[in-house]
Homo-oligomer: A and B are copies of this chain.
Amino acid sequence: MQTAVQITAAEGRGAGAPVPAAVAGASGYAGGELLALLARHPFVSVACLMALATDGKESMSIEAAHPKLRGRFRAACEPLEAARIAAAGAEVVFLATPHEASLEVVPALLELGLRVVDLSGAFRLKEAAAYARWYGFEHKAAAALAESVYGLPEFEAPAIRRGRLVANPGCYPTSVILALAPLLRAGWADRSAGIVADSKSGATGAGRKPTEKLHFPEVNENLRAYSLFHHRHVPEMLQALELSEGDFTFTPHLLPITRGILSTVYARLAGVHTAEEVERLYRQAYAEAPMVRVYPAGTLPEIQGVAGTQFADIGFALDAPTRRLIVVSALDNLGKGAAGQAVQNFNLMWGFPQETGLL
């Protein structure tokens, strides 16, 4: 029988036993965020922690990787293996791993009857061929890919509820799709005029591996645009928004901050609309979405309003005479852009209110 390894278990809070969960990739930034959220979730108990690399040792202390979590977990990180996860009694597995690792372990996890929330890009694109172009590898887990569900709760809730494998969206795509989907679904955007998404992200979005590009003095007091026209998150946005490549330009930038994404999205309306109508469109689209906050016309979200939270905030400005619309969306790349969204997906999968443990 499994036991929770976190010190403050949620036992007794809910009716029935908490859901035992495994977290793989626990030593990374998204993994640490997940652990912090799960330790506070009333209906989850963390059954095991797994790290990709345990420095050749049998296990690795979680507090070496995440000083904030010192004293919060009894267990150390073990090497990632499907069998260990099953043995620990986990029913759900959160994979905060690189896509290579997810590709390898997911089929085995499904085989063992576990449900998976995968934070990597390994199962987000419907067409296997897209992986060759954008990721540079041949996708061989066709069966898993076929059954994977794109885990954007605001638009895919029914499929997520019954999903066995939920592909948690990327941080940039979450930010851009939430900003554009209501507009595009309503047919209000003039696609031929082109849509530009200029996004700016904090450095944790680039992961924990030290590189010269992420060396402190190279990021601090700097701003850098990168991967122009060919960022891996582009196909995910095209797929979700049903846009063609020539009509949609996405540019990511590296901000000298730890966490948070702000996307400034430019579109032209196809018809004439007032700011009130645009606001109503967004409010209706997100009426049932507890983790999206729509701002009143003329008020714009900022990164500070979402950093450390699990919300995505959406605001806009309209120049009605010229039909130019700018939508600004903000979220925490480790929150709604990663761990928070993963927990929201978990909540849907197990029938809890979406916001459980996220406020």
Using an 8 Å CB-CB cutoff, how does the interface string of A203-225 with B read, 1 for contact, 0 for none? 11000101110111111111111
User: Closest residue of chain B to A220, judged by CB?
Assistant: B258
Interface of A is mostly: mixed
User: Beta-carbon contacts of A46-86 to B below 8 Å, as 1s and 0s?
Assistant: 00000000000000000000011011100000000000000
Q: How many identical chains are in the complex?
A: 4
What are the residues of chain B within 8 A of A264 when measuring CB–CB?
Answer: 198, 225, 251, 253
Given known A39-B359, A258-B217, A301-B67, contact A324–B229 (CB-CB < 8 A): yes
Give the complex CA separation of A200 and B260 in angstroms. 16
Chain A residues 291-323 with CB under 8 Å of chain B are 293, 300-309, 311, 313, 317, 319, 321-322
Contact, CB under 8 Å: B304 / A221: yes
| A133, CB-defined interface residue at 8 Å | no
Task: Please determine whether B255 and A255 come into contact, CB atoms closer than 8 angstroms.
Answer: yes
A262: CB under 8 A from chain B?
A: yes
Whether the Cβ atoms of A221 and B224 lie closer than 8 Å is no
Contacts of A150 in B (CB 8 A): none
> What's the Cα separation between A301 and B268 when bound, in Å?
29
Q: How far is the CB of A29 from chain B (nearest CB, A)?
A: 7
> How far does the alpha carbon of A359 sit from the alpha carbon of B10 in the complex, in Å?
12
Q: Are B266 and A306 in contact (CB under 8 A)?
A: no
**Contact size range, A:** 35 or more
What chain B residues lie within 8 Å of A259 (beta carbons)? 217, 221
Give the complex CA separation of A259 and B13 in angstroms. 32
5 closest cross-chain pairs (CB), A and B: A67-B305, A246-B322, A228-B317, A210-B210, A198-B198
Min distance, Cβ A342 to any Cβ of chain B, angstroms: 19
Chain B CB within 10 Å, residue with most, of A220, A255, A321: A220
23 contacts between A and B (CB under 8 A): A67-B304, A67-B306, A68-B307, A68-B308, A71-B293, A72-B359, A194-B268, A196-B198, A208-B212, A208-B215, A208-B217, A215-B215, A216-B218, A216-B219, A217-B258, A219-B220, A220-B220, A222-B307, A223-B255, A224-B300, A225-B300, A245-B322, A251-B326
> Do A203 and B220 form a contact, CB below 8 Å, given A196-B266, A212-B210, A251-B264?
yes
> Among the listed B216, B229, B300, which residue makes an inter-chain contact with A220, where contact means beta carbons less than 8 Å apart?
B216
